[in-house]
């Protein structure tokens, strides 16, 4: 367990507070979405501030795990309507925002992006006051290539020190791929059988913004809604499929899952396939079309007779 | 006139999702040309392969299909210009997902069959049917659909006794 250097987070907190206070008092934005200290020691929670005096409440620590992009989607209608919004984003969150802009859910000119140079955040199963080490860091951070967000309106002038870590998802995907189909089926059935259909994964996902989810429809019912094996399996397959080529890898689904189903593992697998097949990766770039909404006439069709 | 009909111990159910403009017409041609192909295949007609949602394939497996065939126009021949190109990408990704979940991809076949390729339709359907027949019934999804709610499993002797007395 080597500790990871998070000493820059104090300076980042100061910079965020100053910047948020400035843009609010100058009237550049009507509100700022950020992180504030929560009641448990060391924990953090999302906060929306509209008063410049409240800027002092904003923080950035290793416990700031949430992807705040979810507050700007269609699913949370009331916030974006109020005008230009400032938002604190880590690299992974910025990828989600870029994806949303690409899908015409948000406009860049309606946002004031406060980027955070991030060395990593804590995993979902550790106490919020824990020190950030190679053991307590979130699995998504072990594969992160977006420590320093670019294209933001403001980024504190800090450089995170990021050691090379063992890529947790890549290792697990390789392990599963080496198994036989029957063994993989058994593994996923064990995972899916834990599902209680609370839909927390859908609720927290920035890309699950459909007004009516296919899985909630009952005429015709495509996916059984009860937490039974058939419906659970279908839900997780449909979820992974609908996020393929869109998922930004913020791993919020996995973090919020009360039953600890490795949801991001499916998302990472799909991302890996899309990289291999169509050379697509989630990035800060705003793309007009995702990999599954476009095509070329030279796409692989070796599997088609 | 007709060849001797072979009987098998296991007749697989094959669901074919086909596009109305090419493969459906191709299957029609096979029929009007009096070509023989296995009657295991149930054809479902769609406007375009682009209309075929991956959920349909899941649903087919859950409802008892042993094999699924998805077939449409050759690239460039789509009646709606690009539907089959979109479908090609979608299914390329979807089959990778199914493979990762643990479904044997030999039960899932994709093909391009044009309206003139009655012979190819016969070949594709026969191949898939024989392959699935050799593999035996698809039990994974069916078992899931049959399984009781996890909280309702009869896992104690008392419950079993009460159940038997009903």
* CA B9/CA B75 separation, integer angstroms: 38
CA A294 to chain centre: 23
At residue B150, does pLDDT exceed 60? no
Q: How many helices (H) and strands (E) does chain B have?
A: 6, 4
At residue A40, does pLDDT exceed 70? yes
CB atoms under 10 Å from CB of B82, counted, come to 15
**Segment B10-22, tens digit of pLDDT:** 999 999 999 999 9
Question: Residue A14: is the preceding peptide bond cis (ω within 30°)?
Answer: no
Helix, strand, or coil (residue B98):
helix
In angstroms, the first-to-last Cα distance of chain B is 56
- Residue B78 Cα, gap to closest chain A Cα (Å): 12
Q: Which residue range is the domain that position B62 belongs to?
A: 14-138
Tokens of A77: 């209608």
Q: Which residues pair with B18 in a beta bridge?
A: B45, B71
Angle at B124 between CA B121 and CA B125, to 5 degrees: 85
- Residue B33 Cα, gap to closest chain A Cα (Å): 22
**Segment A172-210, tens digit of pLDDT:** 999 999 999 999 999 999 999 899 999 999 999 999 998
Q: Are B60 and B15 in contact (CB under 8 A)?
A: yes
Half-sphere exposure of B16 (CA within 13 A, CB side): 26
At what angle are helices B83-101 and A181-192 packed, to 10 degrees?
90
At residue B163, does pLDDT exceed 90? no
Asked, for residue B6, whether it belongs to a domain, the answer is: no
* CA B137/CA B114 separation, integer angstroms: 30
Q: Which residue in chain A is spatially nearest to B128 when comparing CA positions?
A: A305
Mean pLDDT of A110-130: 92
* CA B11/CA B132 separation, integer angstroms: 9
Asked, for residue B144, whether it belongs to a domain, the answer is: no
Mean pLDDT of A39-51: 92
Question: If pLDDT is split at 50, 70 and 90, which confidence band does A168 have?
Answer: very high
Percent above pLDDT 70 for chain A: 97
Asked, for residue B146, whether it belongs to a domain, the answer is: no
CA B101 to chain centre: 18
pLDDT of residue A76: 65
CB contact under 8 A, A299 and B101: no
pLDDT of residue B143: 84
**Segment A268-298, tens digit of pLDDT:** 999 999 999 999 999 999 999 999 999 999 9
Q: Are A246 and A99 in contact (CB under 8 A)?
A: yes
At residue A127, does pLDDT exceed 80? yes
Q: In 3D, which of B115, B62, B56, B52 has the Cα closest to residue B84?
A: B52
**Segment A228-265, tens digit of pLDDT:** 888 999 999 999 999 999 999 999 999 999 999 999 99
Query: Which residues in chain B are contacts of A223 at CB distance < 8 A?
Result: 55
* CA B74/CA A55 separation, integer angstroms: 59
* CA A120/CA A62 separation, integer angstroms: 7
Query: Which residues in chain B are contacts of A188 at CB distance < 8 A?
Result: 101-102
Asked, for residue B152, whether it belongs to a domain, the answer is: no
CA A59 to chain centre: 19
* CA A244/CA A266 separation, integer angstroms: 9
User: Residue ranges per domain, chain A?
Assistant: 8-143, 168-278
CB contact under 8 A, B102 and A278: no
Mutate to test the interface with B, among A192, A213, A218, A295 (most CBs of B within 10 A): A295
Question: If pLDDT is split at 50, 70 and 90, which confidence band does A161 have?
Answer: confident
* CA A230/CA A237 separation, integer angstroms: 11
**The domain spanning residue B129 has which CATH number?**
3.40.50
CB contact under 8 A, A269 and B97: yes
Backbone angles phi, psi at A179, to 5 degrees: -80, 170
Interface of B with A in 99-138 (CB under 8 A): 99-104, 109-112, 124
How many domains does the structure of chain B reveal?
1
Angle at A109 between CA A104 and CA A111, to 5 degrees: 90
In A83-166, where does DSSP find H-type helix?
91-102
CB contact under 8 A, A305 and B112: yes
Q: What own/partner pairs with CB < 8 Å and gap ≥ 24 does B5-10 have?
A: B8/B133, B10/B133, B10/B136, B10/B137
Q: For residue B129, give every residue at least 6 positions away whose Cβ sits within 8 Å of its Cβ, in sequence order, or none.
A: B12, B14, B38, B40, B41, B67
């Amino acid at each position: 367990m080597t500790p990871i250097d998070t000493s820059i987070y104090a300076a980042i907190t100061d910079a965020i507070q100053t910047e948020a206070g400035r843009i609010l008092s100058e009237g550049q934005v009507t509100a700022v979405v950020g992180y504030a200290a929560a009641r448990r020691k060391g924990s953090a929670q999302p906060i929306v501030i509209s008063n410049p005096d409240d800027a002092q409440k904003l923080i950035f620590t290793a416990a700031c795990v949430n992807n705040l992009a979810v507050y700007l989607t269609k699913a949370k209608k009331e916030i974006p309507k109020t005008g230009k919004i400032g938002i604190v984003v880590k690299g992974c969150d910025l990828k989600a925002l870029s994806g949303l802009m690409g899908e015409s859910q948000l406009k860049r000119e309606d946002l004031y992006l406060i980027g955070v140079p991030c060395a990593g955040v804590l995993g979902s199963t550790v106490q919020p006051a824990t020190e950030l080490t190679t053991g307590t860091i979130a699995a998504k951070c072990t594969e992160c290539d977006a420590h320093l967000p670019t294209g933001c309106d403001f980024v504190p002038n800090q450089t995170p020190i990021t050691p090379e870590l063992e890529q947790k998802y890549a290792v697990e995907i390789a392990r599963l791929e080496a198994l036989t189909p029957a063994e993989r089926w058994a593994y996923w059935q064990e995972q899916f059988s834990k599902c209680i259909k609370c839909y927390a994964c859908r609720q927290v996902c920035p890309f699950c913004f459909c007004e009516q989810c296919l899985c909630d429809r009952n005429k015709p019912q495509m996916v059984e809604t009860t937490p039974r094996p058939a419906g659970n399996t279908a839900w997780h397959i449909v979820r992974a499929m609908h996020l393929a080529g869109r998922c930004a890898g913020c791993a919020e689904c996995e973090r919020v899952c009360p039953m600890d189903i490795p949801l991001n593992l499916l998302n990472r697998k799909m991302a890996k396939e899309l990289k291999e097949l169509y050379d697509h990766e989630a990035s800060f770039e705003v793309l007009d079309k995702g990999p599954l909404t476009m095509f070329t006439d030279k796409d692989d069709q070796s599997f088609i007779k | 006139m007709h060849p001797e009909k072979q009987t098998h111990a296991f007749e697989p159910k094959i669901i074919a999702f086909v596009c109305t403009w090419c493969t459906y017409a191709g299957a029609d041609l096979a029929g009007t040309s009096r070509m023989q192909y296995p009657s295991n295949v149930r054809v479902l007609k769609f406007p375009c392969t682009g209309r075929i949602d991956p959920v349909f394939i899941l649903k087919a497996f859950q409802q008892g299909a042993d094999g699924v065939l998805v077939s449409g126009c050759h690239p460039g021949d789509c009646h709606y210009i690009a539907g089959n190109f979109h479908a090609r990408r979608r299914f390329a990704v979807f089959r990778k997902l199914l493979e990762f979940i643990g479904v044997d991809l030999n039960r899932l076949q994709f093909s391009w069959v044009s309206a003139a390729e009655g012979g190819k339709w016969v070949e594709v359907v026969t191949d898939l049917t024989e392959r699935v027949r050799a593999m035996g019934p698809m039990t994974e999804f069916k078992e899931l659909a049959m399984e009781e709610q996890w909280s309702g499993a009869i896992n104690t002797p008392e419950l079993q006794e009460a159940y038997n007395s009903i």
